[in-house]
C-alpha cells in the first residue's frame, strides 16, 4: 500500500502551542492525550469551482491548521471539545452517527471525517475518541477550515483504531464524506491538506486522484488578504446552486450533440471527455449552443425532454429544489476557461520563462474576472481587496476558495512583499476599525506548507 501520513515528533518551534492544547486536554479529561493529529488549510492559486466539474486545480497548503489532541475511547464514545469556547461540546457514539443537513454545527464536520473512515472499515469493532480541537485557519474565508477539520478528524479516527490507509485513500474518503454536511464540493481541499509537501504547490487531478509537485518561480511570493466578509458554504444554497448549474449546462450541451445521452452526464469534464474535444472547442460549443439569458426550469425540462420530478432526481440536490433560474452559459464559460488557465499556469511554472511572474499574474487576474463576472461568486468587499492588492504592487490578485466573501490571494515579487503588506494595511484595513482589529490574522505572506501528519 502507498504511504499513510507520517508520524512525527512535535517540532521544537510548535511545542508551545501543542503543550497548551495538551494542557487543555488534561484539564478537561484528567488524562494525557495519546497523540495529536494535524491537517492544514490551503490557498488555491488557480482553478476555482472546477474540481467538482472534474478539472485539475493548483493549490498549496498554508501554515494555519486544525490540530486535535486525541485519546482513543474503547467504549465507542466520541467527546469533542474545542479550545474556542464559542463552539459547544459534543458527545455521541461512533456506532450511531447521523449527520443532518439542516444547521452545519462545527462538530458535524468532525462527524463527517469519523463516519467517512468508519464506513471504510465497517466490519470491525470501533474505538471512539476524546478530542481537544484547536484551529488557526480563518473560518468561512476560503482557506478551507472545513476540510482541515474533516481531514484532521479522519486522521484521529484512523489512528484511534490503528487502521491503515494511504494518503490518497484518505483524501478521496474525506472529499466524499464532507458531502454529508450538505455541500457537493470536489476533492481539492482534502487532497492538498493530506498530500501537501513543504515548499511545493500541487497540480491536483481527479478520477483517480493524482498530485504533481509544482515548483513556483523563485522570486514569487504569495500574500493572503481576508476581506473579512464571512460566508459558511453549508449554511446557504449558493455553492450547490453552482454545482447544479454546471451539471445542467453539461446535460443541455450533451443533448445538443445527439451523440451523448444527457442522463449519463453529470459533469462538464465528462462531457468534454465523451466528445473528445479540446477546451477551446468546448468554449466554442458553449458560445454556439447556450444562450446568455438565464434558463428557466421549464426550459431546461423542455430541452431535455423530462419532467421537473425527474430533473430533481437526476440533476438537483436537496437544497436546490426551489431554484427556478439557471445561468448555464456563464457557468460553463467560466469552467472551461478556468480549466485552460490552470493548465497554462502549470506550463509557465514548468518552463519558467523570463516573464513568468507577469504571465502567472495575468492568469490570476483573468481568473478573478471570470469568478466575479461569469461565476458571480465574488463579493464587493473581496473585489475591493483584490483592487487594493493590485494597486499595492501585486503582479496578480484573485479571490480564492468558494468565494462570496473570504480571502484574496496575490502573487507578489519577493522584494515587494513588505511595502505591499504596508499599503494593503493602510488602504483596506485601516479604513475601518473593525477590520484593523483583525489585520494580523487577516493579512499575511505565505509559502507552501506541509501536509497532514500525526505528532507524538
**Cβ partners under 8 Å of residue 379, min gap 6:** 227, 229, 231, 403, 404, 405, 406
Q: Which secondary-structure segment (H or E) carries 90?
A: strand 90-93
Give the chain's length: 456
Whether 189 is catalytic: yes
Residue 430 φ/ψ, nearest 5 degrees: -65, -15
Q: Which residue from 233, 247, 340, 398 is in contact with ligand NG1, where contact means CB under 6 A?
A: 233
Instruction: Give burial (CB, 10 Å; 0-12/13-18/19+) of 173.
Output: buried
**For 75, how many CA atoms within 13 A lie in the half-sphere containing its CB?**
7
Could you give the CA distance from residue 143 to residue 220 in angstroms, rounded to a whole number?
Answer: 20
Residue 268 touches ligand NG1, criterion: CB under 6 A: no
Residue 145 touches ligand ADP, criterion: CB under 6 A: yes
Contact of residue 186 among ligand NG1, ligand ADP, Mg ion, none (CB under 5-8 Å per partner type):
ligand NG1
Indicate the residue among 183 and 378 with the shorter CB distance to ligand NG1.
183
Could you give the CA distance from residue 252 to residue 100 in angstroms, rounded to a whole number?
Answer: 32
Among residues 65, 73, 134, 189, which one is catalytic?
A: 189
Q: Which stretch binds Mg ion (CB under 5 A): 37-45, 90-98, 145-153, 311-319?
A: 145-153
Residue 51 touches ligand NG1, criterion: CB under 6 A: yes
Could you give the CA distance from residue 389 to residue 383 in angstroms, rounded to a whole number?
Answer: 10
Residue 190 touches ligand ADP, criterion: CB under 6 A: no
In the complex, what is the shortest distance from the CB of residue 104 to ligand ADP, in angstroms, rounded to a whole number?
6
Residue 64 touches Mg ion, criterion: CB under 5 A: no
Q: Which secondary-structure segment (H or E) carries 116?
A: helix 106-120
Please give the residue whose beta carbon sits closest to ligand NG1 in the complex. Answer: 185
**Cβ partners under 8 Å of residue 121, min gap 6:** 161, 163
Sheet hosting strand 220-226, strand order edge to edge:
396-399, 407-413, 220-226, 443-446
Contact of residue 200 among Mg ion, ligand ADP, ligand NG1, none (CB under 5-8 Å per partner type):
none
Residue 49 touches ligand NG1, criterion: CB under 6 A: yes
Residue 40 touches ligand NG1, criterion: CB under 6 A: no
- Residues 421-450 touching ligand ADP, rule: CB under 6 A, are none
Residue 147 touches ligand NG1, criterion: CB under 6 A: yes
In the complex, what is the shortest distance from the CB of residue 178 to ligand NG1, in angstroms, rounded to a whole number?
5
Q: Which stretch binds ligand ADP (CB under 6 A): 50-58, 134-142, 299-307, 359-367?
A: 134-142
- Residues 269-298 touching ligand ADP, rule: CB under 6 A, are none
Could you give the CA distance from residue 444 to residue 50 in angstroms, rounded to a whole number?
Answer: 26
Question: Given 3-state DSSP classes, what are the helix, strand and coil percentages for the chain, each rounded to the nearest 5?
Answer: 45, 20, 35
Residue 144 touches ligand ADP, criterion: CB under 6 A: yes
Per the CB < 8 A criterion, the answer to whether 399 and 368 are in contact is yes
Q: Which residue from 42, 167, 233, 390 is in contact with ligand ADP, where contact means CB under 6 A?
A: 233
Characterize the bridge pairing of strands 128-135 and 90-93.
unpaired
Indicate the residue among 127 and 146 with the shorter CB distance to Mg ion.
146
Residue 44 touches Mg ion, criterion: CB under 5 A: no
In the complex, what is the shortest distance from the CB of residue 294 to ligand ADP, in angstroms, rounded to a whole number?
26
Residue 315 touches Mg ion, criterion: CB under 5 A: no
- Residues 66-105 touching ligand ADP, rule: CB under 6 A, are 66, 82, 84, 87, 104
In the complex, what is the shortest distance from the CB of residue 269 to Mg ion, in angstroms, rounded to a whole number?
21
Residue 48 touches ligand NG1, criterion: CB under 6 A: yes
**Cβ partners under 8 Å of residue 258, min gap 6:** none
Residue 141 touches ligand ADP, criterion: CB under 6 A: yes
Q: At what angle do helices 238-257 and 308-315 cross, to 10 degrees?
A: 110
Number of residues that bind ligand ADP (CB under 6 A): 23
Indicate the residue among 17 and 139 with the shorter CB distance to ligand NG1.
139
- Render the burial of 291-313: b for 16+ CB within 10 Å, e for the rest: eeeebebebbbebbebeeeebee
Q: Which stretch binds ligand ADP (CB under 6 A): 132-140, 303-311, 346-354, 422-430?
A: 132-140
Could you give the CA distance from residue 351 to residue 286 in angstroms, rounded to a whole number?
Answer: 31
Binding mask 146-165 for Mg ion (x = CB under 5 A): x-------------------
Residue 142 touches ligand ADP, criterion: CB under 6 A: yes
The grid cell for 264 is 449519463
Residue 28 φ/ψ, nearest 5 degrees: -80, -45
The grid cell for 277 is 474535444
Binding mask 151-190 for ligand NG1 (x = CB under 6 A): ---------------------------x----x-xx-xx-
The grid cell for 455 is 505528532
Contact residues: ligand NG1, CB under 6 A: 44, 48-49, 51-52, 142, 144, 146-147, 178, 183, 185-186, 188-189, 233, 401-402
Contact residues: Mg ion, CB under 5 A: 146
The residues annotated as belonging to the active site are 189
Amino acid at each position: 500500500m502507498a504511504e499513510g501520513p507520517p508520524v512525527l515528533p512535535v517540532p521544537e518551534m510548535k511545542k508551545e502551542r501543542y503543550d497548551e492544547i495538551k494542557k487543555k486536554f488534561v484539564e478537561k479529561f484528567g488524562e494525557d492525550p495519546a497523540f495529536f493529529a494535524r491537517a492544514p488549510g490551503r490557498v488555491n492559486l488557480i482553478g476555482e469551482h472546477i474540481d467538482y466539474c472534474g478539472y485539475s486545480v493548483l493549490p498549496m497548503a498554508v501554515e494555519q491548521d486544525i490540530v486535535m489532541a486525541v485519546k482513543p475511547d474503547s467504549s465507542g464514545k466520541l467527546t469533542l471539545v474545542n479550545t474556542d469556547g464559542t463552539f459547544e461540546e459534543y458527545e455521541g457514539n461512533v456506532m450511531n452517527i447521523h449527520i443532518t443537513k439542516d444547521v452545519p454545527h462545527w462538530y458535524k464536520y468532525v462527524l463527517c471525517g469519523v463516519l467517512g473512515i468508519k464506513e471504510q472499515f465497517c466490519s470491525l469493532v470501533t474505538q471512539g475518541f476524546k478530542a481537544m480541537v484547536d484551529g488557526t485557519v480563518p473560518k468561512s474565508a476560503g482557506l478551507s477550515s472545513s476540510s482541515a477539520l474533516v481531514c484532521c478528524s479522519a486522521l484521529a479516527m484512523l489512528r484511534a483504531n490503528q487502521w491503515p490507509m494511504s494518503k490518497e485513500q484518505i483524501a478521496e474518503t474525506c472529499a466524499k464524506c464532507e458531502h454529508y454536511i450538505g455541500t457537493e464540493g470536489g476533492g481539492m481541499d482534502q487532497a492538498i491538506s493530506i498530500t501537501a509537501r513543504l515548499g511545493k504547490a500541487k497540480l491536483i487531478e481527479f478520477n483517480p486522484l493524482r498530485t504533481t509537485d509544482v515548483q513556483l518561480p523563485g522570486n514569487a511570493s504569495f500574500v493572503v488578504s481576508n476581506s473579512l466578509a464571512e460566508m459558511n458554504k453549508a449554511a446557504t444554497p449558493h455553492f450547490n446552486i453552482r454545482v447544479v448549474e454546471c451539471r445542467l449546462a453539461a446535460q443541455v450541451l450533451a443533448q445538443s450533440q445527439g451523440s451523448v445521452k444527457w442522463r449519463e452526464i453529470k459533469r462538464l469534464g465528462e462531457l468534454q471527455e465523451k466528445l473528445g474535444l479540446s477546451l477551446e472547442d468546448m468554449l466554442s460549443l458553449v458560445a454556439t449552443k447556450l444562450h446568455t439569458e438565464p434558463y428557466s426550469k421549464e426550459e431546461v425540462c423542455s430541452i431535455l425532454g423530462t419532467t421537473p420530478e425527474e430533473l430533481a432526481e437526476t440533476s438537483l440536490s436537496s437544497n436546490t429544489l426551489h431554484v427556478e433560474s439557471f445561468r448555464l452559459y456563464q457557468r460553463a464559460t467560466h469552467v472551461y476557461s478556468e480549466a485552460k488557465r490552470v493548465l497554462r499556469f502549470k506550463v509557465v511554472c514548468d518552463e519558467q520563462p523570463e516573464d513568468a511572474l507577469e504571465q502567472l499574474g495575468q492568469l490570476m487576474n483573468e481568473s478573478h474576472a471570470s469568478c466575479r463576472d461569469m461565476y458571480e461568486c465574488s463579493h464587493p468587499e473581496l473585489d475591493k481587496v483584490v483592487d487594493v492588492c493590485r494597486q499595492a504592487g501585486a503582479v496578480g490578485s484573485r479571490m480564492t476558495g468558494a468565494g462570496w466573501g473570504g480571502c484574496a490571494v496575490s502573487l507578489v515579487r519577493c522584494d515587494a512583499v513588505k511595502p505591499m503588506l504596508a499599503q494593503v494595511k493602510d488602504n483596506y484595513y485601516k479604513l475601518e476599525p473593525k477590520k484593523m482589529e483583525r489585520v494580523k490574522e487577516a493579512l499575511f505572506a505565505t509559502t507552501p506548507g506541509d501536509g497532514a501528519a500525526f505528532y507524538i
